[in-house]
Amino acid sequence: MDRQLTYIAVKEVIPNATQPRETFAEKGLIELADSIRVHGVLEPLLVVKAGWGYKVIAGERRFRAACLAGLTRVPAIVLKEEQRELEEIAIIENLQRQNLTPIEEARAVKRLIDRHHLTQEDAAIALGRSRPAVTNLLRILSLPQEVQDMVQQGLLS
């Protein structure tokens, strides 16, 4: 796979009409945009040269959040692939991502707060979340261990 890292203007980015993710929750985009304002785009978009710009193969959500955050340029890896391979990459990129379980996320946030003596408000700002979202997440850790185990195993959400 031929790859080249670059920064491209957001006005040159063309959304992918065949991208696998069909819905983009507004709240999640706003939270990601808040995080991008603080930390930048941590994972480059995967794009392919298309006419006057670059078509997104993977990273449409990051692109939309970067626009909401007011970025004018985004990091991108320019791919030189055949159409079938591009469609495969778009699907694989979403399949390979496995979100943290709510318990893992809650423990990680608590660890961040404890290690760095943060308030829940500070943690919320750093993570691009609302304070109530952080508070509710941390409440999971006060559940009985057997309930936490069920959440961890995906039996409860």
Complete DSSP assignment for the chain: --EEEEEEEGGGEE--TT-S-----HHHHHHHHHHHHHH--SS-EEEEEETTEEEEEE-HHHHHHHHHTT-SEEEEEEE---HHHHHHHHHHHHHH--PPPHHHHHHHHHHHHHHHT--HHHHHHHHT--HHHHHHHHHGGGS-HHHHHHHHTTS--
What does the pLDDT average to over 124-141?
Answer: 89
**82 annotated active-site:** no
% of the chain surpassing 70 pLDDT: 82
- Lowest-confidence pick of 11-25, 119-133, 143-157: 11-25
pTM exceeds cut of 0.75? no
Annotated catalytic residue, options 12, 43, 60, 104: 60
State the pLDDT confidence band at 88, using cuts at 50, 70 and 90. low
State yes or no: pLDDT of 72 exceeds 80. yes
pLDDT of residue 84: 61
What does the pLDDT average to over 96-107?
Answer: 76
State yes or no: pLDDT of 83 exceeds 70. no
Q: What is the mean pLDDT of the chain?
A: 84
State yes or no: pLDDT of 70 exceeds 90. yes
